Every structure is written in structure tokens, then in C-alpha cells.
Structure 1
Amino acid sequence: MNTPTRNPLETVAINAGDPFCLSEQKHENIRKLVQASHRSFMDVDGVLPWQDEIDLSLPPKSDNTSWIYGTPYWDALGESERHELLWKETARDVSMFIWLEQTLPPLYVGYVNTYYERLSPEIYEYLMIFPKEEIIHTLMFRRYMKLAGLNLFAPPSGPYAALLAKLPTLHPAIGILWTLTIEWAAELVAMSSTQDEGIEPLTRKMFHAHHVEEIRHITFGRRIVEGFFNSASHEDQAIVREQFRPVLNNFIGLLTFNPEIVAHLSFPFPADVNDPDVVRSIRTSPNNAMLNARRFKEQRDWFVELGLTQ
């Protein structure tokens, strides 16, 4: 009988006394996040003026942030088709938040249940606050999708789903790195495209309200991951870096252009998304290259600092 190949991430050691091994400064950072979370928090009914409804005649994002802007495929569309495309791209962004933020609560509460005797009070508390906030975000996003008449995109599949299934058994910093990567990148995309004048008001307000709490989540994730790279063995750090790099590259490509969008449009998409060369040309278009360099700069600089990408 063949023995299943073990994922190298399963060999990363977890400190027996403290799974996170943070400096006192980072513990203080997390105490401040806990305090801020108790001072300011979201509730679904009060976070947005739902009674104003969603004005579908207005764009939900800037047209120059469309996945195909600046390509011949954008030029081939009429105004109404471009408008619909922007709304369906926004549906993908909201769907991504929904699927991720439904995933986080069982993962993070699982860390609490597994390591509760070894967690500092502030890490324990923030690991409880984090999923509570994600549940509220998910309810907000689902209400928005229903009001806008938008359908959910499919949840992640393939290597992302396979890794997700393994996260509860891996070092908790790996799970936090994985979720941080997706959450932070999705947040950068949303905020870079929805906050200009002329954007549909409820959409703009929703993403801004979400951003207020997401900044705390991102800060928490960064402190945890930094603690791992400050304390883990060189061998374990190398394993995480080696496994992470291809996942990051593939994820940014999918974030830039998701071929599933053709199934959500009422008109024929002007490109053959079954052709890998066409998909690659869209993902690497001059406009997308410019957008990605600008909106992901902060995240990429941090990844480079930790040796997670080059």
C-alpha cells in the first residue's frame, strides 16, 4: 500500500509552551486591538442605511478598475454591458469575502479550543472577537447581495480548498498567514476601486465600514505571522516560504481576473476564457499590471520583508 505524501507544512513545529511566541510589543499591539474592537463594532441593521436601497443605475466601482479595462475586450463592449460587468465583478469581490469570512470562525475558535491553556489573555480574546466580527460581515454582505439581486460566485476550489481542509491541523500561524493573504488582498482590491466620487453610495459605505474592522484583523494577522518568523527555526521558516510562494502567485492571478464571470453575464463575454493565453493576457494587461503594482504594494513589501516573495 502506498503511503500518502505528507504535506511539508505538517512538519512545522508548534512551540509546546506558547504557539505564537510574540514579543511584548506585539502583545501590547493586540491589547490595543482588543480595546478598539470593544469601543467600535458593527451591527448589521445599523451599519448601513439599508432603507435607501441600492441604486443599480450607478456604478459599484470605478470603470478603470475593471478586470478588462484597457484591453480590446473592454473596447468591444457597449456602455450597458460595461455597467453590468462592473456589477458582476463586484459580486465576485463580495462573494470572496463571504466565503472567506464564513471559513474563519470555525478555524479561529478551533485555535482557541486547541490552545486555550497556552494563549495569553489578549490573544485568546482577539481570537474570539475576530470570528464574531466576521460573522457580522458575512451577514452584511449577504444582505447586500440580496438587495442588489446579485448571485454568489462559487467558493474556492482546487489547491485552495485542499489547503483549507488541512489548516486546523497545521501551525496556527500558517492558518493565519493563509487567511491574512486572502483577506488583505481582497480588501486592497475593494478599497482601491469603490471609494471614488460617483460610486453607488451604499456600496461605497459598505466597503468603508468593512474596512474599519478589517484593518484590525490585518494588523492582528501581521503581528502573529511576524512572531512566527521571529521565533521559528530556519528549517520551518524555509518550508513555509517554499509552500507559500506559488500559492500567492496563483491567487493574485485569480483575483485579477476570474473566468467564472462569463457564467454571470447576460451577454457573451468578448474573450475566450477557455484559452489560457487569453486569460493570461487579461491578467497581465498593462492596466492590471499598473493596478496590482499600486494596490498590492504595501502587502507585497511586507511579504518581501519576510522572505515570502521576491
Structure 2
Amino acid sequence: MTSPHLAARGVRLRSAIEAMSGTVDRLTEQSRVKYSNPYAALSWPDAVDPEADWFFTPELLSPAGTAVMERLSDRQSRVLAFHESANFFSLNIHGEKSLMEGLAKRLYRSDLVDISDYLHHFLDEENKHSVYFGGFCRRYATLYRSRHVPFQEGPDRAVADFLFFAKALIFEEHADRYNVIQGRDDRLHPLARFINQAHHADETRHLVFNRAIVDALWQTDAPDWDDRQRAEIRARLGQFFVATWREYYNPDVYAASGLDDPWQVAEDAWAHPRQRRQRREMSDKCLRFFLSHGILTEEPADAF
């Protein structure tokens, strides 16, 4: 039997979702119109040459600006960029796996039924992205492991819903910034550009939806949370910012690229002022959303 508190929360949430119905309807229609078949949209090359082509924008490499990069030849830099690309695609595979699991759990839930049509498109598009990312890693590189330990959902449905969509927004905002830059970078191999462009084409809709649902959930539930709960939620979001960024500095990538002392490379790159500024710039739009809506009250300092 549903508790009175949960029932009341459901009423408030349905009202908040109703307020975003125009946005959801528009996104659903756009997904139908812009649907693409990932098995027909791309012809995979038989092979690629990591030493000859760029697969990741050089300025976005995780050790960019550090002494390590100064010691690398152009060929070595391209090899590193290839492995950084495989790591970026791997991060997206791991992130989208968790995202798809969370979306599937919320399909046709009574208080979310009004967004079920769009959640179907969201799920379908995330699976399509995994076809691209997994296709690259499986054919040419490797699927890098994730060291990120996922947060376990607690028994409070409202907190679990909010954290799920808020973390999805953080993860996708950061990935999309890389997609936008790399999709426009004519130096990259056409395959790398295509995958980044294809991901961004769908992510523009996902980000609009995520911002709307995060705002709706915050407006619905935050007034019921006490100071301790809000502080815990903000702390977990700050931790997720750090954990998300940390995975871009992968010692396994540096080892595969032939760099000595890969763990030290990761720590030096993480702490380098150039990289701290770059993370802050790449997070800017996401941070402004969370700060302007009062969800965060300060930047997660450890991330930058």
C-alpha cells in the first residue's frame, strides 16, 4: 500500500511534470523525426592507424600542458590520443549502461508515466550510442575498465530519483562538451568526428530533458528535505563531479601509450593548473545550472 506521504509526493511530481509537458512532447517528436539506424549510418573501416591519425583533440588530452607532453614526439602524441579516445568512449559505455538501467527502472512508473514515451526514446538513443562506442573499442582498441564506484540508491525514492537524473546531467554535460569540440575538429580521423557528432546530435535533446526533470524534482522534493538531507545530496553531487573527472586521467591509458610511471602521470596531470582550468571551463555550463537553481551552493572545489 502506498503511504500518504508517497502519494502526496506523486501528486506534486505529476503536477511538476505536467508543467514540462510541452518540452517533453517536442523532444519526443524530434527523436521520432531524427531517428537513425546505427547499423546503417556508419561503415566501419577495416583498420585504423593510431600513429598516423588523430583520434582525440590534442588540446583536450588529459596530460596537455604538462612536462610529459613536451617529451612526446608527434607519433607518440597521436598514439596517446588514440588511447584517450578509447578511454573516452569507454567512459561513455560505462556511464550509459548505468543510465539505461536507471531509465528502464523508471519506465511506466505511475508518477512518471507522462514522460514514458520520451524515456523510451532516451533508452533507445543511449543504446545506439553504445553501438558506436563499443564498435570502436571492440574493433580497434580496448574497453577500458571503470574505477568509479557507483553510489547505491537508498530507500528514499525522491532522493534516488533526483540523484539519478542529476548525475546523468553531470555525466552527459561533460561528455557533450568533448563531443562538440571534437565533432568540429577537422584534424581528427573522420570516424572519430562522426561518433562525436552522432552522440552530440542526440545529447542536445537529452540535456534539455535532464535539466527540466532535475529542476522539476528539485522543486518537488527539496522543500521536504531538511538541512542535513540537502547537505548530503550536495556532497554526493560534489563527489560525483570529482569521480567523473578523475576517470579522464586513466593510468591504464598512459601505460598502453608507453608512458613511464603512469600513476604519477595521472596525479601530475590532475593537479596541473592547465588541467584544473580546463576542467573548470568544460564544467562551466553544468555548474551554472546547478548553482543558479540553488541545487549547489558552491563549486565542488576538489574537482577544480
Q: TM-score, structure 2 length as denominator?
A: 0.83
- Does the 8 Å contact 1:44/1:140 carry over to 2? yes
Partner of 2:243: 250
Partner of 1:183: 172
Partner of 1:294: 281
Partner of 1:3: none
Deviation digits for residues 54-78 of structure 1, max 9, x if unmatched? Answer: 4642101221221112211111222
Partner of 2:146: 155
Superposed counterparts of 1:120-135, under 5 Å: 120-121=113-114, 123-135=115-127
Q: 1:77 aligns with which of 72, 77, 89?
A: 72
Deviation digits for residues 128-147 of structure 1, max 9, x if unmatched? Answer: 22111111111122122233
Partner of 2:91: 96
Q: Quick one: which amino acid aligns to residue 142 of structure 1?
A: G
Q: 2:209 aligns with which of 220, 232, 248?
A: 220
> Following the alignment from structure 1 to structure 2, what is the Cα–Cα distance between the partners of residues 38 and 85?
38
> Following the alignment from structure 1 to structure 2, what is the Cα–Cα distance between the partners of residues 20 and 246?
30
* CA spacing shift, 1:18–1:252, aligned 2, 3 Å: same
Shift of 1:165: 6.1
* CA spacing shift, 1:194–1:66, aligned 2, 3 Å: farther
Q: Which has the higher contact order (CA 8 A, sep 6+)?
A: 1
Partner of 2:302: none
Deviation digits for residues 97-150 of structure 1, max 9, x if unmatched? Answer: 11122222232121125x2x22343x1111122111111111122122233x10
> Following the alignment from structure 1 to structure 2, what is the Cα–Cα distance between the partners of residues 61 and 174?
31
Shift of 1:13: 7.0
* CA spacing shift, 1:212–1:76, aligned 2, 3 Å: same
Deviation digits for residues 7-29 of structure 1, max 9, x if unmatched? Answer: xxxxx978233546526542211
* CA spacing shift, 1:164–1:193, aligned 2, 3 Å: farther
* 2:249 is the counterpart of 1:262: no
Gaps of 5+ in 2: 300-304
Q: Quick one: which amino acid aligns to residue 141 of structure 1?
A: F
> Following the alignment from structure 2 to structure 1, what is the Cα–Cα distance between the partners of residues 14 and 279?
31
* CA spacing shift, 1:186–1:107, aligned 2, 3 Å: same
> Following the alignment from structure 1 to structure 2, what is the Cα–Cα distance between the partners of residues 51 and 95?
19
Q: TM-score, structure 1 length as denominator?
A: 0.82
Gaps of 5+ in 1: 1-11
Number of residue pairs matched by the alignment: 286
* CA spacing shift, 1:120–1:28, aligned 2, 3 Å: farther
Partner of 1:197: 186
Deviation digits for residues 214-258 of structure 1, max 9, x if unmatched? Answer: 111111111111112222225254442233223323332333x22
Q: 2:55 aligns with which of 54, 60, 71?
A: 60
Aligned-residue identity in percent: 19
> Following the alignment from structure 2 to structure 1, what is the Cα–Cα distance between the partners of residues 172 and 76?
29
Secondary structure of the structure 1 residue equivalent to 2:247: helix
Secondary structure of the structure 1 residue equivalent to 2:253: helix
- Does the 8 Å contact 1:110/1:168 carry over to 2? no
> Following the alignment from structure 2 to structure 1, what is the Cα–Cα distance between the partners of residues 11 and 244?
34
- Does the 8 Å contact 1:18/1:118 carry over to 2? no
- Does the 8 Å contact 2:179/2:199 carry over to 1? no
> Following the alignment from structure 1 to structure 2, what is the Cα–Cα distance between the partners of residues 168 and 155?
27
> Following the alignment from structure 1 to structure 2, what is the Cα–Cα distance between the partners of residues 212 and 166?
33
Shift of 1:168: 9.9
Q: 2:234 aligns with which of 241, 253, 256?
A: 241
- Does the 8 Å contact 1:194/1:207 carry over to 2? yes
Shift of 1:31: 1.1
- Does the 8 Å contact 1:167/1:174 carry over to 2? no
Secondary structure of the structure 2 residue equivalent to 1:17: helix
> Following the alignment from structure 1 to structure 2, what is the Cα–Cα distance between the partners of residues 189 and 168?
34
Shift of 1:92: 0.5
